[in-house]
């Protein structure tokens, strides 16, 4: 059981919180590169309960900083993006992408002290069509993580943003929960089975899974399995990667390359950022890896702190549930995998009551992952111990999700490494 104290640590991510400080040791995917135009409108970003403003300067560089002007705290969101900097419209102070004060327009030259003033700015990088932000120690900035789906050329990857109105934790835990697919998503593959006592052991829809769990250099992983008719085992491998990444097994492991970040905006809102490789497809077809159709039904974006990438089907319209279909055609009555997951995680409330839960053997991956996160946050808070893979971004390359068949007597981790190394011989991996 998760205690009240543990729940508080797991779900609070603002400045000064144990989990928030842990997350600040990693790069955070924050916005689509296309949202920022050179000398264009700035964008409000909410990350880890911090109100930030993002802009692209005249030279194409991205700046991300506290939205408050260091002079009188007026919001730089309303500033003028001009001549390689953002200028506060209150008194004309101007800052570059690194937060350096370029001009104090209302101060006489003899009294100018711009060299002593700096806006609170965070390092920003771009990769795979996404702006990444590092909110930790700006004097010790690591390399971007080697998460495979983000290493693909921009033309071969789709980055999809979808906001959810709930804690990041309940969102990402849905992605590492292997048994719910056989219920919540059972109708998506034409395998509707209302007999909950009967496990469906076809493909991804294993209702009563048996699985193995391991800790990795960069998080946790599970292998769910069941016997095949030819004497092997069918395995589905998934990963949690620090601090909020999940890789779900929605395709064969030799060709499935995808990853999803569950970025806390604040404690009750998160942004799902999905990277799906579009190899073997025409770039820009707007489809996710594994054949899952992209989610495109959004409310119009606004400039509000929570105004980006919101689903048009939401709690206000009961996620457009069709009760008639639920009785005969659809297990959930909700259209599409993404919306089904959104519905159940948001239905838990902004922050789920974790001590109220009764975790089952099928929830082992969730229990192990929570424990790993708590241990890492505690070690950082008490002794400054660096969290997993924070300083070794190459460790993330060990992770790929997907399914495969292996001999029944084979060690699942060995079989996983073998299949993955065959799929990408240019860079070998090993556990242990």
List, as one string, the DSSP characters of 396-420. Answer: GGG---EEEEEETTS-HHHHHHHHH
Q: Which of 251, 268, 252, 271 is nearest to 260 (CA)?
A: 271
pLDDT value at 258 more than 50? yes
- CA-CA distance, 337 to 229, in Å (whole number)? 29
Share of the chain above pLDDT 90, in %: 76
pLDDT value at 431 more than 90? no
pLDDT, residue 57, reads: 98
Average pLDDT, the chain: 90
Please report, for residues 67, 115, 131, the alpha-carbon distance to residue 119 in angstroms, rounded to integers and kept in the order given.
9, 11, 19
- CA-CA distance, 64 to 123, in Å (whole number)? 7
- CB count, 10 Å around CB of 365? 24
Tokens of 337: 């995998």
| Contact between residue 102 and residue 96 where contact means Cβ atoms under 8 Å apart | yes
pLDDT value at 249 more than 50? yes
Lowest-confidence segment of 198-212, 270-284, 327-341 by average pLDDT? 198-212
CA atoms within 13 Å, Cβ hemisphere of 406: 23
CA 196 to mean position of chain CA atoms: 31
- Residue-wise pLDDT for 53-106, tens only, equals 999 999 999 999 999 999 999 999 999 999 999 999 999 999 999 999 999 999
pLDDT, residue 278, reads: 66
Q: How confident is the model at residue 269 (pLDDT cuts 50, 70, 90)?
A: very high
pLDDT, residue 206, reads: 63
- Residue-wise pLDDT for 133-142, tens only, equals 999 999 999 9
- Residue-wise pLDDT for 366-377, tens only, equals 999 999 999 999
> Which positions ≥6 away from 398 have C-beta within 8 Å?
216, 217, 218, 429, 431
- 271-292: average pLDDT: 58
> Which positions ≥6 away from 152 have C-beta within 8 Å?
128, 257, 275, 277, 279
- 166-186: average pLDDT: 87
Handedness of CA 378, 381, 382, 385 (dihedral sign): positive
| Contact between residue 13 and residue 48 where contact means Cβ atoms under 8 Å apart | yes
DSSP 3-state of 242? coil
Predicted structure pTM score: 0.92
Of residues 417 and 193, more confidently modeled = 417
CATH class of segment(s) 148-423: alpha beta
The domain segmentation of the chain, as residue ranges, is 27-134, 148-423
Tokens of 298: 């959004």
CATH number of the 27-134 domain: 2.102.10.10
Of residues 63 and 178, more confidently modeled = 63
Handedness of CA 75, 81, 87, 90 (dihedral sign): negative
């Amino acid at each position: 059981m998760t205690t009240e104290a543990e729940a508080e640590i797991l779900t609070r991510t603002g400045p000064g919180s144990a989990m928030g400080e842990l997350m600040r040791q990693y790069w955070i995917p924050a916005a689509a590169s296309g949202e920022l135009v050179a000398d264009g409108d700035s964008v409000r970003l909410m990350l880890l309960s911090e109100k930030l403003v993002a802009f692209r300067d005249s030279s194409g560089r991205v700046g991300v900083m506290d939205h408050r002007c260091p002079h009188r705290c007026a919001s730089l969101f309303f500033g003028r993006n001009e001549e390689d900097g953002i200028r506060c419209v209150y008194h004309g102070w101007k800052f570059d992408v690194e937060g350096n004060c370029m001009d104090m327009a209302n101060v006489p030259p003899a009294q100018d002290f711009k060299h002593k003033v700096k806006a609170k700015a965070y390092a920003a990088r771009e990769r795979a069509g996404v702006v990444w932000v590092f909110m930790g120690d700006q004097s010790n900035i690591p390399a971007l993580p080697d998460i495979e789906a983000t290493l693909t050329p921009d033309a071969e990857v789709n980055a999809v943003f979808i906001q959810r109105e709930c804690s990041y934790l309940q969102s990402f835990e849905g992605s590492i929960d292997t048994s719910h697919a056989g219920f919540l998503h059972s109708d998506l593959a034409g395998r509707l089975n209302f007999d909950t006592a009967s496990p469906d052991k076809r493909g991804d829809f294993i209702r009563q899974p048996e699985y193995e769990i391991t800790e990795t250099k960069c998080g946790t992983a599970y292998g769910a399995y069941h016997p095949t008719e030819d004497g092997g085992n069918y395995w589905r491998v998934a990963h949690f990667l620090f601090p909020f990444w999940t890789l779900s097994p929605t395709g064969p492991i030799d060709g499935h390359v995808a990853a999803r970040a569950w970025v806390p905006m604040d404690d009750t809102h998160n942004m799902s950022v999905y990277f799906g490789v579009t190899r073997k497809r025409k770039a820009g077809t707007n489809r996710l890896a594994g054949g899952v159709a992209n989610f495109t039904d959004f409310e119009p974006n606004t400039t509000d702190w929570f105004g980006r990438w919101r689903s048009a089907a939401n709690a206000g319209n009961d996620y457009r549930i069709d009760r008639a279909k639920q009785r005969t055609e659809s297990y959930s009555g909700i259209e599409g995998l993404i919306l089904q997951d959104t519905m159940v995680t948001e239905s838990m409330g902004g922050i789920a009551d974790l001590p109220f839960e009764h975790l089952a053997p099928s929830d082992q991956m969730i229990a192990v992952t929570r424990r790993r996160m708590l241990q890492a946050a505690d070690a950082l808070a008490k002794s400054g111990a660096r969290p997993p893979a924070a300083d070794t971004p190459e460790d993330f390359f060990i992770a790929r999700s997907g399914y495969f068949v292996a001999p029944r007597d084979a060690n699942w981790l060995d079989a996983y490494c073998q299949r993955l190394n065959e799929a990408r011989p240019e860079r070998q991996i090993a556990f242990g």
